[in-house]
Amino acid sequence: MKLLVTGGAGFIGSNFVHHMLRTYPAYEVVTFDLLTYAGNLENLKQWENDPRHRFVKGDISDAAVVDPLVEECDAVVHFAAESHVDRSIMSPGAFVETNVHGTYILLEAARKYHKRFHHVSTDEVFGSLEPEDEAFTEKTPYDPRSPYSASKASSDHLVRAYFHTYGLPITISNCSNNYGPYHFPEKLIPLAITNLLEGKKVPLYGDGLQVRDWLFVEDHCRAIDLILHKGTIGDTYCIGGDGERENGWIVREIAEILGKDENSIEYVNDRPGHDRRYAIDHGKITTELGWKPEVSLANGLRLTVEWFQANTEWWQNVKSGGYQEYYRK
């Protein structure tokens, strides 16, 4: 099988490329990425001389580039997206262009050549949960709260429409918050790790009691692999990590791993429209495909800290790129 992986130089996409090339020696992967702030060829360095992997730089909104790449591959796994909520609050137009229009361009090419299409989405399309609410499932109504989640919700609807209208063989997955190797350090966990390694404080929004369901990225890649090969065409699968914890707990746990204390945390003004809680019920993918998360949150955090400790040059190069101007306080 030959895969086109969009956004494959980013955090989750690069981990998926690693997973597929390691798991399936006969597979080929074409990684397609624009290499904006979160895309990094260093994430794929180990495959640069492997004949099974090819990198193409380009924009998913550029049909002239997308069309021939889709034609030559058997399936598209679509990660490419603008993904940071804070950035979407300041510059929503880029999120509509990439996440909605870019997905449309890919879908048109997939429809033209009738290619298998898997769309990677987020639990943020479902909105926010109260503490007593049941976790999100595949039947939860959409209720996006930010320009980012609204753009992802729009792309989800487009993908489903291409299944119902054109019979395109699609699947969709909505995942909870990922963490692990190659995580871009504007997000909570890698920001906490790298700031603490630099002797800096960790900024924590509001009261720090926002709850997220944390999913180790390698568990997520295994789930997408299963959906791609065994998922029911036209269906959606929710992928959760069994790792519901408050943001404050996450930061304190990382600080403890690194020998730091509560004084390393700096509480800052909350972001506008900050969802209070996300949680995913992964019962469907567990029952139908036999998937469940294998890496506990405690072990995953330790593995992630160890990876960042061992890859100082990688994250220092990323942090020097100026992303911090986007971090809202």
The helix or strand, by DSSP H or E, that contains position 33, with its residue range, turns out to be strand 28-33
Contact 244, 213 (CB under 8 A): yes
CA-based R_g, the chain, Å: 19
- Residue 202's Cα: distance from chain center in Å? 22
- Give the separation between CA 193 and CA 268, rounded to whole angstroms: 18
Q: 290: helix, coil or strand?
A: coil
- Nearest CA to 223 out of 156, 173, 180 is that of 173
Q: Which residue has the tokens 């099988």?
A: 1
- Give the separation between CA 77 and CA 316, rounded to whole angstroms: 29
Q: Long-range pairs for 128-132 at CB < 8 Å and ≥24 separation?
A: 128/275, 128/276, 128/277, 128/278, 129/211, 129/276, 129/277, 129/278, 129/279, 130/276, 130/277, 131/211, 131/277
Active site residues: 123-124, 148
CA distances 149 to 8, 19, 80, Å, are 20, 27, 14
- Give the separation between CA 259 and CA 76, rounded to whole angstroms: 43
